[in-house]
């Protein structure tokens, strides 16, 4: 059986994923390209005694280096081994799609153009003469529809045929001006009998395009001394004709002209009503006044579904893991092994799985927005406002999601394809106060502010966090990710009914990747935190308190002694020792060692801060933000200025363990996690210091 490797290439929203799903009996594998967070999908199936492997490359508008997706696609096509390219294009928007096609033709690889969405083209009255287009491009063009599965068999029949046929060069030609200079340079190379694996035309074209590799290769050749003046003259002719010295702009115009000419020769229109319908819908959805309120309402609905509907299964999942932990203790006992498995491993894994319903609902909503074509309009609506802070319009989705949970927020940042846009968004997501911080806010606002003002203070906390996040993005843009904004093209695709199969594939893939990524790391980290909070052991102290508890006559006295023991053990644990050893760092912002330990325990999960304070104040770990005993203890032992400083620090310091792990994976490097720790800690400390000093003066 012969193996056939196909690179699937196309611009965003042309139906590549849907085309893969249309292949029957295919085995799909999803992962990431090496060293990056860009998703990699591979499909294997048998077709006519051939084992066909399709590698779905990231959607890209051109083979440039502006975004991570473009770099991954370009590097794969230029350096990896494959047999042919299937270029998927949107038949309803052919001119735009053929721009990428012209770049692919220049790679000199076997290629087939799949004219996808022919069913929609037919509805819109668009007729494509695929035979004429094949003649113009010099490569086969096949009409297909991934939705109806028409033409899929014919497409792979042509792929198998091309695999066995010898390679025939494409018919990509440029304007007379460029072709004249190519001919001039090629003629000189032919006269000098220059030895190259490439044709003289390809060598000349790459030199005119200022390809760095070709320049380096020829620079060391003896012919370069004579050739350089001729090349300089040719470039001068191009500059003069196009009134620019930007070679990339010149050839972009050339490719656009070729695509435009090909469309004029091969596409005719009978009627066009769907486009008008799209325009009518856009008049409402991207209206200058009503567009943003409509989007905010839709996002509010998605937000509510994510964290209200998602909270229902969360309670059952939590109860399941609690019961599983209790069952583990019945098997392994209440000793060290039972505590390690139940309180460390099972509890840690449960902390990851609990977020899964939220992630599924969120990505279901995002997939619906993307597949219908509405997401592109969101970026268009918000890009102007976010651009003032150095962010992209698509940053809104991860940031607003961050108010619920940072874990799905970090994952939804994948919709940002540009490296700088994605990294800046990832760095400020933690400043959007997640739901896990709410118990801390409720506890402290209730303890130190009157009920009349507590709601306003809570609202101010959330608004202040978002504002500082945007200002931090501006700081990162000016001092860290500085430079001229890279061009980012955002198309306005036609509205389409979502494909249920494609949405299921997208949501299921994201959910599995989340479990795989977060679950593999959080287990070890949870065990580490369990160890730090439970060791070293003090058997004499435990024995002393056990005797006192046994002698106690009243249950309340026994509970009080038990809570006091837990507080002492936590104080003497490695976690408590670390907390006391960092007093010098937190003393200027008004913290005592108990507040420091609570913050460090909150690195595992922000909800733990409240229960840790309960243990430290000898009230037990079962307390919540409404516990009156804990409220009174805080009022008695923590000054108001210190409480303000504590809340500010919680607002801005490092997200929880699960979120930090996902951040590391989505950013692509542990180095960025180190930067995040320094960045968030610095901002949290400085703002807490300001808040503490101002509060001392006012309160």
The model's pLDDT over 274-309, given as tens digits with 9 standing for 90+, comes to 455 666 777 777 777 787 788 778 777 776 676 677
Contacts of 20 (CB under 8 A, 6+ apart): 8, 26, 28, 41, 43, 54, 56
Residue 192 lies inside a defined structural domain of this protein: yes
**Cα-based angle 496, 88, 100 (whole degrees, multiple of 5):** 105
Query: In the chain, what percentage of residues exceed pLDDT 70?
Result: 87
Nearest 5°: phi and psi at 5? -105, 125
Verify that 238 and 140 share a domain, yes or no: no
**Cα-based angle 611, 679, 411 (whole degrees, multiple of 5):** 70
Domain end: 216, 244, 269, which one? Answer: 269
Radius of gyration of the chain (CA): 31
For residue 530, how many other CB atoms are within 10 A of its CB? 20
CA distance 309 to 313: 8
Q: Check whether 75 has a pLDDT greater than 80.
A: yes
CATH of the domain at 255: 1.10.287
| pLDDT band at 620; cut points 50, 70, 90 | very low
Nearest 5°: phi and psi at 267? -115, 135
Contact 542, 565 (CB under 8 A): yes
Q: Check whether 388 has a pLDDT greater than 90.
A: no
The model's pLDDT over 540-593, given as tens digits with 9 standing for 90+, comes to 888 888 888 887 778 878 888 887 887 788 778 887 788 788 888 999 999 988
Helix axis angle, 200-208 to 212-219, nearest 10°: 110
Contacts of 33 (CB under 8 A, 6+ apart): 39, 40, 72, 76
Pairing of strands 267-269, 126-128: antiparallel
Q: What average pLDDT does the segment 4-32 reach?
A: 80
Residue 245 lies inside a defined structural domain of this protein: yes
CA distance 255 to 259: 6
| pLDDT band at 487; cut points 50, 70, 90 | very low
For residue 486, how many other CB atoms are within 10 A of its CB? 13
Q: Which of 53-62, 356-365, 524-533, 548-557 is predicted most confidently? A: 53-62
Residue 555 lies inside a defined structural domain of this protein: no
Verify that 19 and 99 share a domain, yes or no: yes
Q: Please tell me the predicted confidence (pLDDT) of residue 554.
A: 80
Verify that 140 and 184 share a domain, yes or no: no
Mean pLDDT of the chain: 82
Q: Check whether 7 has a pLDDT greater than 50.
A: yes
Q: What average pLDDT does the segment 596-600 reach?
A: 85
pTM of the model: 0.60
Q: Is the dihedral of CA 125, 130, 136, 141 positive or negative?
A: positive
Count of alpha carbons within 13 angstroms of residue 495, beta-carbon side: 13
Buried b (16+ CB within 10 A) or exposed e, 40-74: bbbbebebeebebbbbbbbbbbbbbebbbbbbbbb
CA 284 to chain centroid, in Å, comes to 29
Verify that 155 and 212 share a domain, yes or no: no
| pLDDT band at 648; cut points 50, 70, 90 | very high
Verify that 76 and 117 share a domain, yes or no: yes
Distances (CA, A) of 652 to 347, 647, 683: 25, 9, 7
Residue 144 lies inside a defined structural domain of this protein: yes
CA distance 17 to 8: 10
Mapping DSSP to helix (H, G, I), strand (E, B) and coil, where does residue 598 land?
helix
Q: Check whether 367 has a pLDDT greater than 50.
A: yes
DSSP string, 509-549: HHHHHHHHHHHHHHHHHHHHHHHHHH-S--HHHHHHHHHHH
Give the sheet arrangement for strand 2-10, strand by strand. Answer: 27-32, 39-47, 50-56, 2-10, 84-90, 111-116, 141-143
CA distance 44 to 502: 18
Q: Please tell me the predicted confidence (pLDDT) of residue 643.
A: 92
Contact 604, 661 (CB under 8 A): no
Show the tokens assigned to 665: 């994976």
Of residues 545 and 621, the one with the higher pLDDT is 545
The model's pLDDT over 23-46, given as tens digits with 9 standing for 90+, comes to 766 666 766 665 555 677 888 888
> Would you give the DSSP letter of residue 343?
I
Contact 534, 339 (CB under 8 A): yes
Contacts of 72 (CB under 8 A, 6+ apart): 33, 36, 38, 57, 58
CA distance 37 to 347: 28
Helix axis angle, 670-698 to 451-479, nearest 10°: 130
The model's pLDDT over 156-210, given as tens digits with 9 standing for 90+, comes to 999 999 998 888 877 778 887 888 889 889 988 888 888 887 888 888 888 898 8
Q: Please tell me the predicted confidence (pLDDT) of residue 30.
A: 64
Q: What average pLDDT does the segment 588-608 reach?
A: 84
Domain end: 135, 164, 193, which one? Answer: 164
Neighbour-count burial of 275, counting CB atoms closer than 10 A to its CB (0-12 exposed, 13-18 middle, 19+ buried): middle
CA distance 645 to 639: 10
Verify that 93 and 187 share a domain, yes or no: no
Contacts of 165 (CB under 8 A, 6+ apart): none
Show the tokens assigned to 37: 């967070």
Of residues 302 and 224, the one with the higher pLDDT is 224
Q: Check whether 370 has a pLDDT greater than 80.
A: no
Residue 681 lies inside a defined structural domain of this protein: no
Kindly report which listed range (234-238, 353-357, 475-479) carries the lowest average pLDDT score: 353-357
Q: Which of 232-236, 361-365, 478-482, 544-548 is predicted most confidently? A: 232-236
Of the candidates 6, 143, 16, 27, the residue with the CA atom closest to the CA atom of residue 80: 6
For residue 107, how many other CB atoms are within 10 A of its CB? 16
The model's pLDDT over 490-542, given as tens digits with 9 standing for 90+, comes to 555 667 777 777 677 767 776 776 676 555 555 665 677 678 777 888 888 88
Of the candidates 8, 10, 75, 70, the residue with the CA atom closest to the CA atom of residue 213: 75
DSSP string, 267-317: EEES---HHHHHHHHHHHHT-TTTHHHHHHHHHHHHHHIIIIITHHHHHHH
> Would you give the DSSP letter of residue 150?
B
Q: What share of the chain is helix, strand, coil (3-state, %, to 5)?
A: 65, 10, 25
For residue 511, how many other CB atoms are within 10 A of its CB? 17
Verify that 217 and 80 share a domain, yes or no: no
Residue 197 lies inside a defined structural domain of this protein: yes
Q: Check whether 489 has a pLDDT greater than 50.
A: no
Residue 655 lies inside a defined structural domain of this protein: no
Contacts of 635 (CB under 8 A, 6+ apart): 447, 448
Verify that 40 and 112 share a domain, yes or no: yes
Contact 522, 658 (CB under 8 A): yes
The kind and range of the H/E element at 43 are: strand 39-47
The kind and range of the H/E element at 6 are: strand 2-10
Q: What average pLDDT does the segment 60-76 reach?
A: 82
Verify that 8 and 138 share a domain, yes or no: yes
CA 535 to chain centroid, in Å, comes to 38
Verify that 141 and 187 share a domain, yes or no: no
Q: What average pLDDT does the segment 618-632 reach?
A: 61
Tell me the β-bridge partners of 3. Answer: 51
Give me the residue label for tokens 């498995």. 341
Verify that 153 and 72 share a domain, yes or no: yes
| pLDDT band at 133; cut points 50, 70, 90 | very high
Of residues 39 and 84, the one with the higher pLDDT is 84
| pLDDT band at 616; cut points 50, 70, 90 | low
Q: What average pLDDT does the segment 654-679 reach?
A: 90
Of the candidates 116, 100, 101, the residue with the CA atom closest to the CA atom of residue 171: 101
Total domains in the chain come to 2
Contact 371, 507 (CB under 8 A): no
Kindly report which listed range (31-35, 82-86, 415-419, 530-534) carries the lowest average pLDDT score: 31-35
Q: Check whether 623 has a pLDDT greater than 80.
A: no
CA distance 445 to 435: 16
CA distance 418 to 367: 19
Verify that 14 and 151 share a domain, yes or no: yes
Kindly report which listed range (28-42, 120-134, 441-455, 549-563) carries the lowest average pLDDT score: 28-42
Domain end: 216, 251, 269, which one? Answer: 269
Q: Check whether 678 has a pLDDT greater than 90.
A: yes
Q: Please tell me the predicted confidence (pLDDT) of residue 460.
A: 86
CATH of the domain at 112: 3.40.50.300
For residue 292, how many other CB atoms are within 10 A of its CB? 15
For residue 164, how many other CB atoms are within 10 A of its CB? 9
Q: Please tell me the predicted confidence (pLDDT) of residue 488.
A: 46
Q: Please tell me the predicted confidence (pLDDT) of residue 26.
A: 66
Q: Which of 14-28, 248-262, 678-692 is predicted most confidently? A: 678-692
Residue 195 lies inside a defined structural domain of this protein: yes
Task: Tell me which residue range forms the domain holding 16.
Answer: 2-164
The kind and range of the H/E element at 220 are: none
Q: What average pLDDT does the segment 260-275 reach?
A: 75
């Amino acid at each position: 059986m012969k193996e056939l490797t196909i690179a699937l290439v196309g611009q965003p929203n042309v139906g590549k994923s849907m085309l893969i799903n249309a292949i029957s009996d295919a085995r799909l594998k999803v992962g990431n390209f090496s060293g990056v967070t860009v998703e990699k999908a591979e499909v294997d199936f048998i077709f006519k005694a051939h084992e066909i492997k399709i590698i779905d490359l990231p959607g890209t508008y051109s083979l440039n280096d502006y975004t991570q997706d473009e770099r991954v696609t370009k590097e794969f096509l230029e350096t990896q081994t494959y047999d042919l390219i299937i270029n998927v294009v949107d038949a309803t928007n052919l001119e735009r799609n053929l721009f990428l096609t012209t770049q692919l033709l220049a790679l000199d690889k076997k290629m087939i153009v799949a004219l996808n969405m022919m069913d929609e083209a037919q509805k819109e009255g668009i007729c494509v003469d695929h035979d004429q287009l094949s003649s113009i491009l010099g490569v086969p063009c096949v009409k297909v529809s991934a939705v109806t599965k028409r033409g899929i068999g014919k497409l792979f029949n042509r792929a198998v045929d091309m695999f066995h046929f010898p390679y025939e060069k494409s018919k990509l030609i440029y304007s007379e001006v460029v072709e004249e200079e190519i001919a001039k340079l090629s003629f000189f190379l032919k006269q000098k009998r220059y030895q190259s694996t490439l044709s003289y035309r390809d060598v000349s074209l790459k030199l005119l395009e200022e390809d760095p590799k070709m320049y380096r290769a020829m620079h060391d050749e003896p012919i370069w001394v004579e050739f350089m003046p001729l090349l300089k003259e040719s470039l001068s002719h191009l500059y003069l004709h196009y009134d620019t010295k930007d070679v990339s702009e010149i050839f972009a115009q050339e490719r656009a002209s070729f695509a435009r000419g090909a469309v004029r020769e091969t596409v005719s229109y009978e009627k066009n009503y769907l486009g008008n319908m799209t325009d009518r819908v856009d008049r409402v959805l991207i209206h200058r006044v009503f567009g943003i309120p409509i989007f905010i309402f839709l996002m509010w609905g998605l937000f509510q579904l994510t964290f209200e509907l998602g909270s229902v299964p969360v309670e059952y999942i939590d109860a399941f893991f609690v019961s599983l932990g209790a069952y583990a203790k019945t098997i392994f006992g209440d000793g060290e092994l039972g505590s390690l498995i139940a309180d460390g491993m099972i509890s840690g894994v449960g902390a990851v799985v609990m977020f899964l319903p939220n992630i599924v609902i969120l990505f279901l909503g995002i997939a619906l927005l993307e597949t219908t074509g509405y997401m592109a309009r969101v970026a268009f609506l918000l890009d102007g406002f976010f651009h003032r802070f150095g962010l992209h319009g698509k940053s809104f989705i991860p940031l607003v999601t961050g108010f619920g949970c940072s874990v799905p927020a970090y994952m939804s940042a994948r919709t940002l394809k540009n490296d700088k846009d994605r990294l800046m968004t990832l760095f400020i997501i933690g400043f959007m106060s997640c739901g896990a911080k709410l118990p801390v806010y409720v506890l402290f606002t209730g303890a130190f502010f009157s009920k009349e003002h507590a709601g306003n203070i809570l609202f101010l906390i959330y608004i202040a966090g978002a504002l500082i996040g945007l200002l931090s993005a501006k700081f990162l843009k000016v001092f860290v990710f500085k430079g001229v904004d890279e061009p980012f093209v955002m198309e306005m695709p036609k509205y389409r009914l979502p494909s249920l199969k494609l949405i299921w594939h997208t949501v299921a893939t994201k959910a599995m990747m989340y479990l795989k990524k977060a679950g593999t790391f959080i287990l070890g980290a949870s065990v580490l935190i369990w160890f730090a909070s439970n060791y070293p052991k003090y058997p004499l102290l435990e024995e002393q308190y056990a005797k006192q508890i046994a002698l106690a006559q009243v249950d309340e006295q026994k509970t009080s002694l038990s809570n006091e023991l837990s507080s002492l053990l936590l104080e003497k644990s490695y976690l408590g020792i670390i907390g006391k050893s960092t007093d010098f760092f937190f003393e200027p912002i008004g913290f005592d060692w108990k507040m420091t330990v609570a913050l460090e325990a909150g690195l595992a999960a922000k909800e733990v801060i409240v229960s840790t304070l309960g243990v430290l104040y000898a009230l037990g770990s079962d307390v919540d933000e409404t516990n009156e005993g804990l409220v009174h203890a805080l009022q008695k032992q923590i000054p108001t200025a210190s409480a303000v400083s504590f809340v500010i620090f919680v607002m801005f310091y490092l997200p929880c363990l699960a979120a930090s792990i996902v951040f590391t994976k989505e950013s692509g490097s542990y180095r960025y996690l180190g930067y995040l720790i320094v960045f968030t800690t610095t901002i949290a400390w400085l703002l807490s210091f300001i808040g503490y000093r101002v509060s001392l003066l006012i309160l």
